Amino acid sequence: MHPATRLAQAMALHQSGRLREARKHYEQILRQRPIDADALHFLGVLRHNLGESEAGIELIRRSLKIAPRNSHAWLNLGNILLELDRGQAAHSAYQQATDCAPESADAWFNLGVCSRKLQRAAEAIAALDRAIELRAGHAPAHFQRGIAQRDAGNLNAAEADYRQALQVAPDLLAVYESLGVLLYRQGRIAHAALVYEQWLARDPSNVVAQHMAAAMSGQNVPERASDAYVAQNFDRFADTFDQNLQQLLYRAPALTASALRHAIGADRVLDAVLDAGCGTGLCAPLLRPMASRLVGIDLSAGMIDKARAKNIYDELEVAELGAFMRGCPAAFDAVVAADTLVYFGALEAVLSAARQALRPEGWLVLTLEKMPPELPPQSYTIMPHGRYAHRTEYVEMALRREEFEQISVDTQVLRTERGEDVIGLLVSARRHSE
């Protein structure tokens, strides 16, 4: 069989997902023609498809030594490198692709996306300008340029690009969240609510759209955030969670650890402490000196993976905290929930579970967001950012109903958000003696 015919067959098999058969054809071509640039290139892509990325990169680089002006090969090399988080190397490959094919909208688009991920906003905007010039009305390019404009501080331009993307492709669902967040951060809550409602209409099963549409509009508000929303939301942000909170001057871990130390005394070490909603483990180094055994639970598997990498906890588990605590009667001397119950509106059920998990005279320490005084006198409300805020009197009453004693509720600044202090409640209470 002529190598060109065999190459066409291999490409057809490759495109249809029959990777093992395609690989045999590519390799047969290369036994006949070891310097066939196309066979090297496509076999490299296939090896990446099979999870053999390093071998794939090497094959594509060999191909490019033979055919250095192959923009398609440079583009695929960049795609593989970017997928492997080798942003600078991917950027160089994409630049080569645009040099070889300056009229390729795909090359400019990918260069723009890569530049944005490397936090080179101005460079990203310029590349995406060129991509849109070459392919007018390309919704993904408008979306990506909107993100780059946002990163550059050009909020009006970002909004215009997001809206253009949705006008062209209203089913490009990721745009709705980016636009909604942009409007929220500008304090344009009614406009943001409309965007989330539009997103929910397009994607009614999306748990983020469901929750945020309720938060923004105040309509159909659940008593607590769904497990699916919490897990999905925090899985998405696990990689950048610690860095983002550091920028927000996050104080909840230090506040809760200090409150627990004050409650139990300066030198006491507890037998078992539960970090309920432990996230990436920000509380762990602060709680470790107070606990012979430290257990962390969280709904987000991504967060638990990050916590496990810190190697501080004795035990970590992906679990819903209410169910976990009810399943561990009298197992802990303290339960700490730093910014965890902000995803609960009604507190009665979760406080009952905490009481069950605590040993007699065990301590519950937690933070909540404080109900703004200008809101109606209700027990709790959901805020536009998607977390719940609670009235002090309601928190105290709910704790007393569960027979907690030595209740302390102090107003504290938990972090900053949109340049303003987030006012919260630092709560500590002791389970009654048997």
The model's pLDDT over 121-144, given as tens digits with 9 standing for 90+, comes to 999 999 999 999 999 999 999 999
Rounded distance between C-alpha atoms, residue 94 and residue 82, angstroms: 10
- Token reading at 144: 């990506």
Is the per-residue pLDDT at 3 higher than 70?
Answer: no
pLDDT of residue 196: 96
Give the mean model confidence (pLDDT) for residues 272-278: 97
Q: At what angle do helices 348-357 and 392-401 cross, to 10 degrees?
A: 50
Domains and their CATH numbers in the chain: 3-164 (1.25.40.10), 173-221 (no CATH), 241-431 (3.40.50.150)
pLDDT of residue 416: 85
pLDDT band at residue 434, thresholds of 50, 70 and 90? low
Rounded distance between C-alpha atoms, residue 296 and residue 432, angstroms: 24
State the number of CA atoms in the 13 A half-sphere of 336 facing the CB.
Answer: 32
Looking at the DSSP assignment, which residues form a beta bridge with residue 427?
Answer: 366, 409
pLDDT of residue 109: 98
- 163: exposed, middle or buried (C-beta count within 10 Å: 0-12, 13-18, 19+)? middle
pLDDT of residue 249: 78
In sequence order, what E strands does 161-262 have?
Answer: none
pLDDT digits (tens, 9 = 90+) for 6-16: 888 889 999 99
Rounded distance between C-alpha atoms, residue 256 and residue 90, angstroms: 43
Q: What is the mean pLDDT of the chain?
A: 94
pLDDT of residue 1: 61
Q: Between residues 374 and 115, which one has the greater pLDDT?
A: 115
Rounded distance between C-alpha atoms, residue 205 and residue 199, angstroms: 10
Give the mean model confidence (pLDDT) for residues 251-264: 95
Least Cα distance to 323 among 302, 349, 347, 343 occurs for 349
The structure's pTM equals: 0.86
Exposed e or buried b per residue across 61-99, where buried means at least 16 C-beta atoms within 10 angstroms of its C-beta: ebbbeebeebbbbbbbbbbbbbeeeebebbbbbbbbbbe
pLDDT band at residue 182, thresholds of 50, 70 and 90? very high
Give the mean model confidence (pLDDT) for residues 95-106: 97
Is the per-residue pLDDT at 329 higher than 70?
Answer: yes
Q: Between residues 191 and 237, which one has the greater pLDDT?
A: 191
- 123: exposed, middle or buried (C-beta count within 10 Å: 0-12, 13-18, 19+)? middle
Is the per-residue pLDDT at 89 higher than 70?
Answer: yes
pLDDT of residue 300: 95
- Token reading at 199: 């997103």
